[in-house]
Amino acid sequence: MCRQVARYAPAKLVLVEQAENNLFEIDRELRGGYPGVSVVPYVADVCDSARMRWIFARERPATIFHAAAHKHVPMMELNPGEAVKNNILGTKLTAEMAAEHGARRMVVISTDKAVNPTSIMGCTKRVGELYVQQLSGRCETQFITVRFGNVLGSSGSVVPIFREQIVRGGPITVTHPDMLRYFMTIPEAAQLVLQAGAMGSGGEIYVLDMGEPIKIVDLARDMITLSGLRPGLDIEIVFTGLRPGEKLFEELSIEGEHVSPTSHPKIGVWKRRPDDFSRVCHGIEDLLTSADTSSHDEIRRQLKSLVPEYAPDQGFAVPGGASLPEAMRVGGVGS
């Protein structure tokens, strides 16, 4: 996102990142590649209200692209309170700072896993969507959400994991032979996010056209072949079973919503689904108050009260009857 924004020569590009080394690398790259752009890096946590308020007051950004999230599905099943804090509180706080400091617009990057969610990760992202949708229209800032699926080569995605497994000589681990996912490249995803952000007027959820979903096992076979090896002979493919919170396939809509075309052939827009802002706010406050102390089941119950279509998946396939942490260590890929 920063690389593509820098190409348009903004007056200033403010980077906010919790991971110091990642911030150092992108700051150095942007300063070298775009010497005419003023780049300002801040080490900060989006859940730190005092730090965020100071940054917003100092910089007064016109447009915010909010991409901070915990995204690994099985990991968030084990750490639901952290998903609540980062994916809900982080989004809520950033949105409030945007409104308080007069930002023109904020673009929230969401996920197809927010649609009829079965995972903590997907449901917390859906709650973030609900909040910014309801906040839009209550202040001058325009809040726009963009949903899409998996991004090839992004941090923690399936391609680098498969590549690493091939280099080690295998096996490649795939959760299920029928696992389907939507994919697009990093530059394409970033460009479409910018396009959707530019066309929004506030409250919309844009859905990117991800093309046809592909089978994860087919991607594994293709990567083995492209490495000059033979699937099943030189590199084995092992099926490990669905992991906590996973679906066999992802969706890009919510039942009851309706998509409309936009001026861009690869971007659709979902009509706003009415909700009670006070209900959403009270539900979020309850979640945040108990995020560090509630049981996992209680957090799931609170999430379901906010997102009725949330269906926690208790029937995932764990090889050999392994416990939840053991299932995490199996190393299957497919989310």
Q: Where in the sequence numbering do the catalytic residues fall? A: 113
29, 196, 107, 131 alpha-carbon torsion, rounded to 10°: -150
Tell how strand 267-270 and strand 259-261 pair up: antiparallel
Per-residue H/E/C for the chain = CHHHHHCCCCCEEEEEECCHHHHHHHHHHHHHHCCCCEEEEEECCCCCHHHHHHHHHHHCCCEEEECCCCCCHHHHHHCHHHHHHHHHHHHHHHHHHHHHCCCCEEEEECCHHHCCCCCHHHHHHHHHHHHHHHHCCCCCCEEEEEECCEEECCCCCHHHHHHHHHHCCCCEEECCCCCEECEEEHHHHHHHHHHHHHHCCCCCEEEECCCCCEEHHHHHHHHHHHCCCCECCCECEEECCCCCCCCCCCCCCCCCCCEEECCCCCEEEECCCCCCHHHHHHHHHHHHHHCCCCCHHHHHHHHHHHCCCCCCCCCCCCHHHCCHHHHHHHCCECC
Cα–Cα distance, 296 to 291 (Å, whole number)? 9
Give which of 67, 16, 69 is closest to 39, Cα–Cα.
16
Give which of 296, 329, 252 is closest to 120, Cα–Cα.
296
